[in-house]
A and B are shown apart, each in its own frame.
Chain A
Amino acid sequence: MVLRWLQRIGVYFLVLLGLSILVFVIARVIPGDPARQALGPRVSEETVQALREKLNLDKPLFTQYVLWFKGAIRLDLGDSLLTRRPVIEDVRRYLPATLEIVLLSAVFMAAGGILFGIVATKYTGKWQDALIRVLSYLGIVSPPFVWAVLFMLLFGYIIPVLPTTGRIAQSVAAPTRMITGMYTVDYLLTGNLAGWWDAFKHLLLPSIALMLGGMAQAARLTRSNMVENSMKDYIQAQQAYGVPEKKLLYKYLLKPSLIPTISILALDIAAVFGNAFLVENLFNYPGLSRYGLSAMLNKDINAISGVVMVFGLIFILVNILSDMVVAWLDPRVRLMGGADV
């Protein structure tokens, strides 16, 4: 079993290697000259040539990749052409903010999705079920940026109870010590509750805008699997034995029904990372996604490859995590050491 898990992790490393090639190629086939783009039209040819040499753009593509990869292993992703800082420094600065949003939406998504799924199963065919179904469709069909725009309209102008821009209010000081870089965590660690509340309020709207689609999908999937599993013989047998309904629902019915939900949640979290590119931008939230979007729109090659690599790495970690949860839930998978990869 340990061998199977090691093999899986080996596969993930291979994927990561492939990803680095893909990302590198995408960032280097940009039409036009990134060095000229970074410096603007008024700079002399010598300066541009110097930057080209610094970025290794004058070397063959394969050499460029090897140099970039060697750097990436040492966490040196090159300098951003836009902020003029090392990309890794920018990643350190902006990533915690994005993680905060994504983690909060992941928690909402999983908790809300599973909860609504259970409620809908409990009241199958009743109005609660119908309501949840209609709301899920609404959640699935509206892109996060539409929610973001609606929230900004609603909370920015009509009932201004929640902040719609930035990470903290201007009147609130940033955490005195940066420990994790996540404001909500740092405020708690430094014991600043007022600050924590403010930072948390700023997280709410973007993360809700991001998670509604995933929550709706998780709720639908949980419901359909629970309803399907409730027809199975073992549930009927437990019912006949007179097992209390609560125990039946949570212990026997919910656990196996959650397996597909966990897999879809991993995909939805990936989608959250993708959509964060727009939502952070709309809410003017200084996270890595907003940084990545501006890098993409300005063809800042080092920043693009750096940011995309970081997100790819996180996505792979999320996948490993979801595999582990599925293995924990499903003895068939656990004993075989993971589904067929």
Chain B
Amino acid sequence: MSVRSRAAPDVRMAPRPKRDWGDEAKRLWYKFSLNKASVIGLCIVLFVLVLAVFQPWLAPYPHHVGAVVDFANANRPPCKEYWMGTDTVGRDIMSRIFYAYRGAFTLGLGVLLATVPLGSILGLVAGYWKERWFSTVIMRVTDVFLALPPMILALCVCAIMRPTLFNSMMAMCVAWWPWYTRLTYGMATSLRNEMYVKSAELLGASKSHIIFKELLPNCYGSILTKMTLDMGWVILTGATLSFVGLGEQPPTPALGNMVSEGAKYLPAQWWISIFPALAIMVIVLGFNLMGDGIKDMLSGEA
């Protein structure tokens, strides 16, 4: 061969050592389970998830989700047939809470799945090319979005659209992405000076290789931790939006609108609003405990 090949050299010179995922998982689980609180958090989240997914089979009165009326059993306090009582038209509160959890999970997953990839990649791009003009543009736009309290931004966007679950999801996406951009931006600006990134550059690795294969995997830990904690926050914010009537509309139950409906009948029929309020606290607590556990688990990991 007299002529040197001009193609970029292969970055993967040495085969990567195979990681034993089974062992890895076992070790991580051990670290996670050291803290009993985080295991409790995981159990809460899984339990609620099962209730939400299998609502039609687990709820005692699954059809009470819609516009059902049963005046004979209206306003019953918690009893053997209705563990959490019934509302003013005789619908079982517990069955409605199970269903409302579906909305809460949909909202949390929807918002995070839409915002995390977008926000993180924007942050990585802006952080890796910190000196370029588009980095400045991205970060200044991020600053603008961060200059409003997220609740106000979400309320604002939500209020101008028709109140549905999907639209409240959209509104929260508008308010949520910049936090991930800022997170990964900070990480990328320091990671880009690491030796392994420099050597990848010297070997002529493509930009997408550096962003996705060198920088991104190092951010997974922080992103995952923030995501778990944010699941709780998204559900909380969603409940707040539906509390003011921006979100799922009655008769479909949502955690927030159940509290606000029930608040009208305090203190006599306390169970109508107190149980949905507790339901919000339980799920948010679950995600918070779990998030703290994941943070401890991943601290000190590469």
Contacts and interface: CB of A to CB of B under 8 A. Distances in A.
B144 A137 contact: no
Interface in B166-210: none
A126 B285 CA distance: 23
B143 interface: yes
B157 interface: yes
A87 to B, nearest CB: 15
A296 B159 contact: yes
A316 B147 contact: yes
A125 interface: no
B68 to A, nearest CB: 25
A11 interface: yes
A274 B281 contact: no
Interface string A281-313: 110000000001100110100001000100110
A194 to B, nearest CB: 30
B48 interface: no
Contacts, number: 130
B295 to A, nearest CB: 11
Contact of A137 (B256, B270, B288): B288
Contact of A146 (B152, B161, B281, B288): B281
At the interface, is chain A mostly helix, strand, loop or mixed?
A: helix
A270 B151 CA distance: 9
Contacts of B114: none
A26 B152 contact: no
A39 interface: no
Nearest to A26: B156
Nearest to B240: A143
A152 interface: yes
Interface string B227-251: 0000010001001100111000000
B280 interface: yes
**Interface size bucket, A side?**
35 or more
A274 B152 contact: yes
Contacts of B236: 141, 143
A29 B160 contact: yes
A277 B156 CA distance: 11
B149 A270 contact: yes
A308 B148 contact: yes
Interface of B: 140-141, 143-145, 147-152, 155-157, 159-162, 232, 236, 239-240, 243-245, 256, 259-260, 263, 266-267, 270, 273, 277, 280-281, 284-285, 288-289
Given A31-B161, A296-B155, A297-B245, 5 more contacts: A31-B162, A150-B277, A153-B266, A273-B149, A297-B244
Interface of A: 11, 14-16, 18-19, 21-23, 26-27, 29-31, 137-138, 140-143, 145-146, 149-150, 152-153, 156-158, 270-271, 273-275, 277-278, 281-282, 292-293, 296-297, 299, 304, 308, 311-312, 315-316, 319
